[in-house]
Amino acid sequence: MNSFALLFLVLGLGLIGWLTARARAGRLIRVSATRSHSRPGQHATYVALWTALPALLFLTAWSAISPSLVREAVLETPAASTLPQFGFQRDSILGEARRLANNPDAGAFNEEARVLAPAYGKAQTRYSWIGTALTVLLAFAGFAYAYSRVSPVFRARTRVERTVMLVLLIASLIAILTTLGIFVSLLIESARFFSVVPITDFLFGTHWSPQVISSTDPGKSLGAVPLFWGTFFIGAVIAMIVAIPFGLMSAIYLTQYAAPRVRKWMKPILEILAGVPTVVYGYFAALTVAPAIRDFAVMLGFEYASSESALAAGLVMGVMIIPFVSSMADDSIAAVPTSMRDGSLAMGATTSETIRRVLLPASLPGVVAGILLAVSRAIGETMIVVMAASGAATITLNPFESATTVTKQIVDLLTGEAEFDSPKTLAAFALGLTLFVITFLLNIVALRVVKKYREAYE
């Protein structure tokens, strides 16, 4: 029986459990002399949860482990003895055998797969039945346990409440555990990379050319410094030169000068800017901004101006980041008590003097935190640089020259045709890990700053 049918079966059993428990609870409560603690519906939910939840949890776990159980079983059959011992080929034969077992008409590349297919089919059927039987058994056991507890004095309501909390807890843990999982997988792959390439070569090497990797000393052409320089130059310098002043000024306008009516319109529009898919900014950078900048650079006399300049990517990225800086700055300026503003105005300061001398200094921590978050977003941004920046890894201060970023290189490394465990591909994970650590630290610092600053006014 496949998992879907099983899922519905379990849910059906849960429903039946709900109905029978409700009927029983209703009856018991009616004849009972004491006042019942919980209402029939609550008893019913309790029974339904006990029927469905353990069975579903088991089903989930079973779907995760049964493929490997099936595989083990197949490998133990005599037909499997001819298989290559390890590696890619072995996996692909087993994969084909599985496909054949499910669909006999499927084409097979390896002949061995055809031999294995019946064994695979048999093992699958067996484990599928075991799983089904255990699931149903568990559902009935849960039902029996819960059903037997239905009585007027049983506190089903509190139990159900606790289950609700548990479900919500699990839901919120999923995001955290996923992040943790990503981090661990990055760590493992990076460890493999660093076993081939010394970490110092990677972190401090200034030469990046993954296309030509020497097999004796791969670290020589995998120095990440140019990438981090490019990332820093595009994301933290050029983009911020655009985003900080414009974001800040728009926040100041919106909080201090704009009439409420204007603010009501402008703030949402600015926030829409944050919702534009980055790939659209990528087009804009590659098709409009980059050529314009090249022409401009040529006009200025830069002979070899690239049409994929750091400036184009950085400028567009800066525009993309404006709403982030603006909304963080807006929040922190608005959090400065009005009494500060009034105090300054009452001293005869003009609005702009008040902003420069009182509001901005007072909201500085929040603004700085906003900028840090914006930087961490900018350096993690991929689409714009993939589309508008070239792959040349150079350490340059000339914004008209091409530059590349970490994210852009990760894309390049992983979309090539290289084997998956070559230093070249593994370098992508090391880059990813480094970037992860950097943005993670930036976020922590930013959140700390925000927290400290919130405390100051509350």
Partner 1 sequence: MTDTQAPAVRTDNTERATPKRETHIKMAARDVNVFYGTSHAIRDVSIDVDMENVTAFIGPSGCGKSTFLRTLNRMNDTIPIARVTGDITLDGEDIYSPDMDVVQLRARVGMVFQKPNPFPKSIYENVAYGPRIHGLAPAKRDLDGIVESALKRAGLWEEVKDRLDDSGTALSGGQQQRLCIARAIAVDPEVILMDEPCSALDPIATAKIEELIHALRGKYAIVIVTHNMQQAARVSQKTAFFHLGHLVEYGETSEIFTNPREERTKDYITGRYG
Candidates 224-232, 280-288, 354-362, 431-439 — which segment interacts with partner 1 by CB under 8 A?
354-362
Residue from 271, 295, 353, 421 touching partner 1 (CB under 8 A): that is 353
Taking the complex as a whole, the smallest distance from the CB of residue 450 to partner 1 amounts, in Å, to: 16
- Which CB sits closer to partner 1, 253 or 436? 253
Which residues contact residue 277 at a Cβ distance below 8 angstroms, ignoring those fewer than 6 apart?
Answer: 383
Diameter over CA atoms, the chain: 98
Q: Is 347 one of the binding residues for partner 1 (CB under 8 A)?
A: yes
- Which CB sits closer to partner 1, 447 or 456? 456
Residue from 257, 350, 421, 452 touching partner 1 (CB under 8 A): that is 350
Q: Is 450 one of the binding residues for partner 1 (CB under 8 A)?
A: no
Residue from 357, 451, 452, 454 touching partner 1 (CB under 8 A): that is 357
Axis crossing angle, helix 156-196 with helix 40-76, rounded to the nearest 10 = 30
**Per-residue x/- track, 245-284, partner 1 (CB under 8 A):** --------------xx------------------------
Residue from 182, 192, 361, 444 touching partner 1 (CB under 8 A): that is 361
Taking the complex as a whole, the smallest distance from the CB of residue 178 to partner 1 amounts, in Å, to: 40
Taking the complex as a whole, the smallest distance from the CB of residue 449 to partner 1 amounts, in Å, to: 15
Q: Which two tokens stand for residue 297?
A: 């650079």
- Which CB sits closer to partner 1, 95 or 343? 343
Residue from 82, 295, 343, 441 touching partner 1 (CB under 8 A): that is 343
Residue from 349, 360, 411, 414 touching partner 1 (CB under 8 A): that is 349
The b-or-e profile of 236-258 (16+ CB within 10 A means b, else e) is bbbbbebbbebbbebbbebbeeb
CB 252 within 8 A of CB 355: yes
Beta bridge partners of 352: none
CA 191 → CA 106, 186, 226, 426, distances in Å?
A: 39, 8, 22, 9
CB 264 within 8 A of CB 292: no
- Which CB sits closer to partner 1, 39 or 263? 263
Size of the site for partner 1 (CB under 8 A): 21
- Which CB sits closer to partner 1, 212 or 259? 259
- Burial class from Cβ neighbours inside 10 Å (0-12, 13-18, 19+) for residue 208 reads buried
Ramachandran bin of 87, using left for φ above 0, alpha for ψ from -120 to 50, beta for the remaining angles: left
- 3 state SS of 205: coil
Instruction: Quote the CA–CA distance of 278 and 42 in Å, as a whole number.
Output: 48
Taking the complex as a whole, the smallest distance from the CB of residue 453 to partner 1 amounts, in Å, to: 11
Candidates 239-247, 336-344, 426-434, 439-447 — which segment interacts with partner 1 by CB under 8 A?
336-344
Which among 1, 416, 433 is positioned nearest to 213, based on CA atoms?
416
Residue from 274, 340, 392, 395 touching partner 1 (CB under 8 A): that is 340
**Per-residue x/- track, 196-235, partner 1 (CB under 8 A):** ----------------------------------------
Instruction: Quote the CA–CA distance of 450 and 447 in Å, as a whole number.
Output: 5
- Which CB sits closer to partner 1, 135 or 344? 344
Q: Is 237 one of the binding residues for partner 1 (CB under 8 A)?
A: no
CB 14 within 8 A of CB 147: no
CA 293 → CA 236, 240, 378, 458, distances in Å?
A: 19, 18, 20, 47
Candidates 156-164, 214-222, 297-305, 334-342 — which segment interacts with partner 1 by CB under 8 A?
334-342
Taking the chain, what is the end-to-end CA distance rounded to the nearest angstrom?
Answer: 60
Which residue type does 371 have?
I
- Residue numbers of the site for partner 1 (CB under 8 A)? 259-260, 337, 339-350, 353, 357-358, 361-362, 456
